[in-house]
Amino acid sequence: MSQPADLLPLEHHDRTEFQLERLILFSDAVFAIAITLLIIEIKVPELHHANDREALAALLRLTPKFVGFFIGFGVIAVYWTAHHRVFRFLRRYDGRLIWLNILFLMTIVLMPFTSAYYTEYTVGVNVPYVLYCLSVIATALAQVVLQRYIRNPAHGLIDPRDARHPDLDIVRPLVAPLAFVFGILLTLVAPWWVSRVAPVFIWPLMTLYGRRYRRLVREYAAAQHPHEPQPVAA
């Protein structure tokens, strides 16, 4: 027995705007949980003798963990802002976008573990640090794949005029991970403690990228208003 015709079509139940909001809210929740797990990994130290000297010594022993926390917090925050920046262009979605986004979020969820692993074993050990660097690089590559899919006009997910917007530049997600690639290379040729300073290069790299971004902004603005007269220099 066939179903009534009015029960088959689901297009009028799709509610694209609502479904996009669900996708973004789910992503935000994953980011929030991952960034919270970073601090949960730092346990309050047990004091065998409750005095200020031992309390201070116990805190100092946690220094590597707090350094890892701030680095991990900063990295996840960078990827949340990137996700926010890219997803604001979406006008519709499809199944592949959902799964690419889930793949990207999976790499985010891995970061609290890899961060805790490398801050637990810091002195003279490189494998945990290399694993953390690789997890950050994996996140960057997942973002590139996701972003390339979103900006491709053939998929119809954004306004075609936005495909060349500077905020969708696929070079940008690869800038910060260069510091972690550099960190991995340093483990091969330098003492273990030298490689740990590699994340500080994120900010200089992003500053250098700023030149490219400003150029893309000018090109995008010119493409949007091709007939506007250029100002004449005095």
> pLDDT digit string (tens) for 90-145?
999 999 999 999 999 999 999 999 998 988 887 788 999 999 999 999 999 999 99
The C-alpha angle 26, 15, 9, rounded to 5 degrees, equals 125
**Residues 166, 171: Cα–Cα separation, whole Å:** 10
Q: Is the pLDDT of residue 10 over 80?
A: no
Nearest to 108 by CA among 41, 30, 171: 30
pTM of structure = 0.83
Reply yes or no on whether the pLDDT at 149 is more than 80.
yes
Cα-based distances in Å from 224 to 63, 98, 162, 220, 221: 50, 30, 10, 6, 5
* Measured distance CA(8)–CA(233) in Å, rounded: 64
Separation of alpha carbons 8 and 6, rounded Å: 6
* Range scoring the smallest mean pLDDT among 8-17, 49-58, 202-211: 8-17
Pairwise CA distance, residues 75 & 77, whole Å: 5
As a whole number of angstroms, the distance between CA 188 and CA 116 comes to 22
Question: Which position has the higher pLDDT, 234 or 176?
Answer: 176
**Helix (H) or strand (E) run with residue 152 in it:** none
- Token pair, residue 91, equals 């006008």
